[in-house]
Amino acid sequence: MDILSKLPVELAHQILSSLDITDLAACQSVSRQWYWITVDQSVWKRAFLERERPFAIPAANYSQLSSDSFTREAAEASAGLSSPSSLQLETTIALLDLDGEPDVVEEATEPTGPPERDWKQECRSRVISDRNWAKGHIQSLFTLRVHRGAIVRLRIKGDKLLSADIFGQVAVWNTGTWNCEKMIDAAVGPIQLLDFSAAAMVATVVSKSGVCRIWDLNAKSMMHSSSAFDVACMTMDDKHLVLGKRDGQIEVVDFISGQPIRSTDPMSTETLQEIYIQNDTLVVATGHFIRILSIETLDVLLACPLPIPSTTHTFCSVFHIRSLILLTEEHILHIQWEPLNKSPNKLFPIDTRLELPPDLSKAPFIHRTKIPPIATITSIAIGGNHPHVLTTNADRPSLNETIRVCPTTVAQPRPVPAQGQDANADANANEVDRAAPVATEAAGDGSGSLAADDVGIVLTSQDEGIATYLDTCGLKPSFMDVEEDIVIVGTSKGDIVVLGMMGVES
């Protein structure tokens, strides 16, 4: 008995809104009545937003976003989501291709106005993107040329890309047209650190000569300059500029006036590796600890040791949303926390409509991927809606097969074997292990076991022309950045190669 077709349309939409994209795509092929029920854009919008929930897309990215799309229940459920299989992805894409009308056409109700976005197409694009990432299939490729020297830094945010070369020049690109809008002599010599505010169009560059310069990108004029010999890492958003010093001190700077606002005491026993601005907090990673600080007071809100052995040497790290990437001598470690939905104390307010912070009180998932020799790694990156990690191997003659995507498929966690248990248990380890939870900043040895080695996915192309280009271009990669479905690779010749995972489907 078809109960759904007999329900009021509004109630049917509410029921279907609780389904994910795969199930919703299957529903539209059940019958003519079900097809017309699923035509409504609000159903696909809800499915799309709930699917993006694990990646914590800020509400500001979607106009007229209702707060009920971000329920606490949905947030809690999202923590256990795993990547769909290739068969599921292919089936969902085929079902989402059912854009034609059913065999018997009934007159549809005229909408009151055009939809603000085609949410069904957004769902289809995300599924196609997942398939391409899972298989490592490059869909489009083109090259940007404006620099005269090797690319040493890249930073992409929204519709802007900033590239910096060994001569200290910074180019501003429009990612909608991929035209170079501005070229600025931002530093003398190679640039070591680069970040910018897309809204304020202000960039900060730290050169290897130890000078920090803040630039007005629209006016192409330098706003401030200061010494930065001790700056190890840096991050910037539309409100703040945060500098991490080599002695472990963190300094928040007003980039309009160039004056420091507040700073922490040095951490003499630790080395800062990464600072990430998350809403009104700072996520600070050192070699063996991670902390969440209030950006307004710099008070520590949450802290815990990383679940890795104390003897493991980490060379660098990258944080994005709730994922921390650590580069060690032989592996890339991807540590992924569940979202923190409820504030642990009054000092730590959490807006569930925005990007949720990591829950450091719970055991994270750990993914381990075997990497080439450490001397051949030039950069690691993680970005966009997909927590994939990419490493660039500069030891090869071309870009082909130099970029690897470390899989992040979440398997069912298994308990860490206690001391004295069968040592052979690790031989059949799942891809993802769960480390022992650590909730305080007490000294820990990070003895949680890791998963068996994974070699990762090599980015290749289904298009023979693209593969031939990659093989023959002879461009050695030097730096990389990632955002959503775009991989930006800078080369030693000054070219910038843009790899798209959402090209036109053949």
Q: Could you report the average pLDDT of every consecutive run of 10 residues in the chain (506 residues)?
A: 79 83 85 84 81 48 33 36 52 60 44 63 84 84 92 92 96 94 94 94 94 95 93 92 93 92 88 90 92 93 90 88 87 87 84 84 86 78 72 69 68 40 35 36 35 69 75 78 88 90 62
pLDDT at residue 506, rounded to an integer? 41
* pLDDT value of position 389: 76
Q: What integer pLDDT is reported at residue 292 of this predicted model?
A: 95
Positive or negative: CA dihedral 65, 67, 73, 76: positive
Amino acid of residue 364: P
Q: Is-contact 472 485, C-beta < 8 A?
A: no
Q: Residue 428 has what pLDDT?
A: 34
The predicted structure's pLDDT at residue 76: 37
User: Which run of H or of E encompasses 472?
Assistant: helix 464-472
Residue whose structure tokens are 């990632």: 482
pLDDT at residue number 58 = 39
Give residues with Cβ within 8 angstroms of 238, minimum separation 6. 197, 198, 199, 200
Residue 148 to residue 218: CA distance in whole angstroms: 22
pTM across the whole model: 0.77
The CB density around residue 106, as the number of other CB atoms within 10 Å, is 11
Report the C-alpha dihedral over residues 161, 386, 292, 286, rounded to 10 degrees. -80
| Integer Cα distance of 10 and 223 in angstroms | 55
CA distance 210 to 206: 7
- Residue pair 301/294 in contact (Cβ under 8 Å)? The answer is yes
* Residue 87 CB neighbour total at 10 angstroms: 8
Question: What local confidence, expressed as pLDDT, does residue 424 receive?
Answer: 39
Taking the alpha carbons at both ends of the chain, their separation in whole angstroms is 40
What's the pLDDT at 213? 96
pLDDT for the residue 211? 94
Instruction: Kindly list the distances between the CA atom of residue 377 and the CA atoms of 40, 315, 340, 390, in Å, as whole numbers in the listed order.
Output: 48, 11, 33, 10
Q: Which domains occur in the chain, in start order?
A: 3-101+115-135 (1.20.1280), 137-417+428-500 (2.130.10.10)
Beta-carbon contacts of residue 94 (< 8 Å; ≥ 6 apart)? none
